[in-house]
Amino acid sequence: MNKMGKITKNYIYNLIYQMVSMLIPLFTAPYLSRILGPIGTGIYGYVNSATTLICSIVILGIYNYGNRQIAYVRDDPDAISNVFWQIMSSRVVIAIFGSVVYFAVTMSIGKYRSLFLIYYSYMIGYFIDPTWLFVGVEDMKWALLKNMLTKIIAVVSIFLFVKDSNDIDKYLFIQGISIALANAISFTQIKRYVRKPHLDFSNVKTDLINSALLFLPSVGTIIYTQCDKIMIELMTDNSQAVAFYDYSEKILTIPLAFILAINNAIMPRIANEFKRENKEQIQSLLNKSARCLLFISFPAMLGMIAISEKFIPWYLGNEFIPTVQAIKVMAPILLTNTLMGVSGSQYFTATNQVKILMLSQFSAMILNILVNAVLIPKYGFMGAAFATILTSCVCAVIQYVYMTKQIKFEGILRTALYYAVQAVIMYFVIAFATRTLPSKLSTTFLQILIGGSVYFVCAVLAKDRLVKEVFSKIRTVFYHSQK
């Protein structure tokens, strides 16, 4: 299989993986929002954010570090096995230290201690996760299969056991144990790439230092994406506000699944080309992925704004109508995250330019905390929404100031302008055509159908290069199938 063919295949695997991860929680959201209510879902959002923050910090950047190290040696089977077990040995050390930190922090908080204890299984899942191996060798199939299986089990368990607002503990247990089970299942497939287990602690110090250096830039992102919900809870003592903000973020992750899939598929390839010192191929890959991501992000951003008012009432219930305003304010993160996906997740991470990532992410983190501290007491969760979009923009600007000095994006600004105009046309058509329709499932489907059709027609009329390439590939496949 040629290089671009393998990237396409892994993009599809990553896309399915991300869609399963994002869509299944959203599938259960209408049920949970009505059973647990704003208070119950807000408590879950707070506990999950605090646990994710602690877990992400103590585990360092060992996932991305392992992914990158495997990508560097993926043509050498013996090296793959040695690198895998060296990094797993480091994860054992991290697991012991992380567990001590988790219980020390959560027990000292005082609030929701029993729920934090139940949710410890979530951390166990993080500690034993081996899927970075499959990402590094560009074989996402096994990560996809285990994710689908455990997500289905979790969904069934939620409908069977979570029956009223007092079942928040059962919901947390199901969510945590499903992560641990999913990653335990992944170990059944590592034998395809590694030899029998042999823990080697001789390289732990080096691995931890290098993963920490790779992790430092993302500390800012992790803190300002998780700390907002924690600050809302602590500064307002209002779990409902946490729920409104949390659901707005979750809903916006639906189109982000496409973006994350492309990032995960492209980064190992760029890392491999970087090791080969193939700058031309890196530039070609970045230009293609940027064009594709912008094609998705502009209609996604304006589409979410257009459908939110008709979507939230039937999806979450009238108690969650405040979520609509948060979605409208935060929708631009679909564009800024797209831009940072190209610069940070794909390029700077793959080429190990840690200092630039650190500068952008830490600047965003500090700004986010300061703006949250000022706006949340006065504006509640909407203050956190404004802080999120502001800091995301700042982070993207900093990264591109440096990236454009190294990579030339040919015609990308003109392309972005075309996509923006097409998305604006799409937005107004959706708003006008469905303005009198009631809030129900069929209206949302109609809005998506209208928006997708209008945007696609605009792209065809504009003779978009990406659309022409897709049509060309379809014709080629059809031609070969007729032979």
Query: Does an H or E element contain 385, and which?
Result: helix 381-403
Q: What percent of the chain lies above the pLDDT cut of 70?
A: 89
Q: Distance between CA 41 and CA 46 in Å, rounded?
A: 9
- Find out whether 391 and 367 touch, Cβ atoms under 8 Å: yes
Q: Chain-wide mean pLDDT for the chain?
A: 84
Q: Which residue has the higher pLDDT, 426 or 270?
A: 426
Output b/e per residue, 171-189; b: 16+ Cβ within 10 A: bbbbbbbbbbbbbbebeeb
Question: Is the pLDDT higher at 61 or at 330?
Answer: 330
pLDDT value at residue 14:
64
Q: pLDDT of 86-138, one tens digit each? A: 888 888 888 899 899 999 988 887 788 999 999 999 888 888 888 888 878 77
Angle at 227 between CA 124 and CA 313, to 5 degrees: 95
Rounded Cα–Cα distance for residues 25 and 39 (Å): 18
Cβ partners under 8 Å of residue 195, min gap 6: 81
Specify the pLDDT at position 286: 81
Q: Count how many residues are written for the chain.
A: 483
The distance between the two most distant Cα atoms of the chain, rounded to a whole number of Å, is 69
| Tokens encoding 223 | 């803190």
Three-state SS for 192?
Answer: helix
DSSP 348: I
3-state secondary structure of 239: helix
What pLDDT does residue 483 have?
55
Q: Residue 56's pLDDT band (boundaries 50, 70, 90)?
A: confident
Residue 79 has a CB neighbour count (10 Å cut-off) of 14
Q: Helix-strand-coil percent breakdown of the chain, rounded to 5?
A: 85, 0, 15
Confidence of residue 5 (pLDDT cuts 50, 70, 90): low
Whether 437 shows a pLDDT value over 90: the answer reads yes
Structure confidence by residue, pLDDT tens digits, 241-263: 999 999 998 888 777 766 666 66
Tell me what pLDDT residue 42 has. Answer: 92
Q: Cβ neighbours of residue 461 under 8 Å, at least 6 residues apart?
A: none
Q: What are phi and psi of 109, to 5 degrees?
A: -65, -40
Q: Are 304 and 252 in contact (CB under 8 A)?
A: yes
| Residue 442 pLDDT greater than 80, yes or no | yes
Query: Would you say residue 15 has pLDDT above 70?
Result: no
